[in-house]
Structure 1
Amino acid sequence: MKDLSPSDLKTILHSKRANLYYLEYCRVMQKDGRVLYLTEANNSQKNPENQYFNIPIANTTVVLLGNGTSITQAAVRMLAQAGVLLGFAGGGGTPLYMGNEIEWLTPQSEYRPTEYIQGWMSFWFDDEKRLQAAKQFQAARIAYLTRVWGKDRDLSVEGFTTDNDLIKGALERFNTRTEQATKSSDLLLTEAQLTKVLYKFSANNTGTSDFTRQHQSADKANDFLNHGNYLAYGLAACTLWVLGIPHGFAVMHGKTRRGALVFDIADLIKDAIVLPWAFICAKENSTEQEFRQQVLQKFTDHKALDFMFEQVKKVALQGQEE
């Protein structure tokens, strides 16, 4: 079999890539010019080839390695050449390193674009312009939620719709307070108030009793929220790497947190997709894998990665034509 080099692979734009992998208890390696993962779950089988599973790196954005995983240097090299971000995670896809900081291994390349980071820097040191950029993201976040909840039939069947009076009122208050905000802390407070309403609505909608958002909680709804949020963080980190914008230049979350811009960008899609499906899958007693597959499918259906790229480019270039 002829070995393939990354240069032989057809290039797929990151915004159009379909795959995000979370792997547990396996070894990731390079074999015959491909990146594979080897699981020992089927050790008793006579044909050892059945233990190998291919990772289509040209169509992959992020690989998260969870408990019991290892990876070879050759595999890392191929992932980097294909532009795949690599993350080491705790159980269930939730990175635990450095507290709740995000540790992404981004492919090294001297050919990342410069126009977006230069555009970002042109406004970032101005407090007022940075606040306006944060408001743009918040407005886009609500527009995306309204669009997704308005067109997703599966969510509609489960009762997640913006026609609800509670949601309508919360979104109106959010928009008003966002416009009136004079500093980023005002935006964070407004965001927290909206999220609290969405949690309450989702819990009531799915019959989840006594729900309290706790990042260290062991109940399924909290576990799925953590898991889904980190999938969104992976897409956000991929977006920023492709556009060449470092994670430390946040517009809303703390400027002292080096992963803060990842949180800003992930917030564009979390409320619309991750939040409702965390509660729905918890109600249905889904497994982590079933939840992950559901969320990733919805990311694809609603073009979440495309939306992230579109919004970050728009803010970086301040709405100018490229």
Structure 2
Amino acid sequence: MEALTDLKAILHSKRANIYYLDKCRVMQKDGRVLYLTEAEKQNQYWNIPIANTTCILLGTGTSITQAAVRMLASAGVLIGFCGGGGTPLLAANEVEWLSPQSEYRPTEFLQGWVGFWFDEAKRLHTAKQFQIARLQYMKKVWGKDRDLQQAGFHLDDPQMESLLNHYPKAVAQAANVGHLLQHEARVTKQLYKIAATCTKYGEFVRTRDGEDNANAFLNHGNYLAYGLAATTLWVLGIPHGFAVVHGKTRRGALVFDVADLIKDTLILPWAFICAKDGATEQQFRQQCLQAFTDHKALDFMFAEVQRAALNQSWDELDDCAEITQP
């Protein structure tokens, strides 16, 4: 039996797997973590490669043993309980994460983060940098992803050009986080319109109830992004409550901030494309996971959070020329 200490260490930013499981039992057997599914004639066991897994979402009809949790924790795998399709069934806005505990996680990133977080001006500066970083990531991904380009997502589209030109200026001029959130909401609404037009989806109104396929896919994909964001913050040792955009009153708000770095770039367009093509929920999820891998989404999240924690320059907070460069 392979000992826990024999597991090969794989950086979380390089791990390949996110699992969503439902109607099964997760257990430890012969030194491995397995999930058991019940078929009509026989039960089937499937292995989970925990050393290469970032997080596991446990949906409806699932259970997990204490031994399995111990092994997952030793491998640094995040465990989340959720409703069907990765979205909570109740009125909660976030997955409740059971974080593996370790006394040896790094402290430098937490110390760097709290070093600026209690200063409102510095917090706003970081929020602006996050907004510019997500826009730069979109330009990079949409500029080279042929599948998205074939679906009609082009940077030289007049509406996109206008957005790319005006949003950095609006970010630089935002006087507080409230103004920043207003600009962000307007941009996201514009992106919904652009996506609906590119895919010929028709009229679209964003609702959290998932009344149509595009809304359902957006909900589902966003929770996948939250999984990556939660993984990033746990590995770096930064508590989820130290948000820079979404407010200090939401316990998991920093997860939303970090997830926003990739949501508009990867989740939003594929939600509309898959909805228009009549894809299943599983097909959409697989497409999102492939996009995360192709465009190194987790690496990007790690890099931006590390940069914000350690590489801040506070000499010219009022001069946002640096972050407005393309």
| TM score, norm. by length of structure 1 | 0.95
1:10 equivalent in alignment to 2:17: no
Q: Secondary structure at the match of 1:43?
A: coil
Q: Map of 1:57-72 to 2, 5 A cutoff?
A: 57-72=50-65
Match of 2:188 in 1: 195
Describe the SS at the equivalent of 1:39.
strand
| Secondary structure of residue in 2 paired with 1:109 | coil
Q: How does 1:43-192 map to 2 (within 5 A)?
A: 43-45=40-42, 48=43, 51-96=44-89, 99-192=92-185
Shift of 1:98: 5.6
After superposing on structure 2, the runs of 4+ consecutive aligned residues of structure 1 that deviate more than 2 Å are 95-98
Partner of 2:28: 30
- Amino acid of the structure 2 residue aligned with 1:7: T
Report the CA distance between 1:318 and its aligned residue: 2.4
Distance 2:161 2:77 in 1: 39
8 Å contact 2:82–2:95 — kept in the other structure? Answer: no
Of the three residues 238, 243, 266, the one matched with 1:245 is 238
CA distance in 1 between partners of 2:306 and 2:15 (Å): 18
Structure 1 residue 61 displacement after superposition: 0.2
- Counting aligned pairs with the same residue, the percent is 66
* Other structure's SS at 2:308 match: helix
Candidates 215, 220, 243, aligned match of 1:222: 215
Give unpaired runs (5+ residues) of structure 1: none
> Take 1:192 and 1:143, find their aligned partners in 2: how far apart are those partners?
18
TM-score (norm 2): 0.94
Q: Distance in 1 between matches of 2:84 and 2:220?
A: 9
Describe the SS at the equivalent of 2:56.
strand
Aligned partners of 1:227, 1:150: CA distance in 2, in Å? 25
CA distance in 1 between partners of 2:16 and 2:71 (Å): 18
Q: Deviations over 1:219-252 (max 9, x none)?
A: 1100100000000000000000000000000001
Gaps of 5+ in 2: 314-326
CA contact (8 A) 2:23 2:59 kept: yes
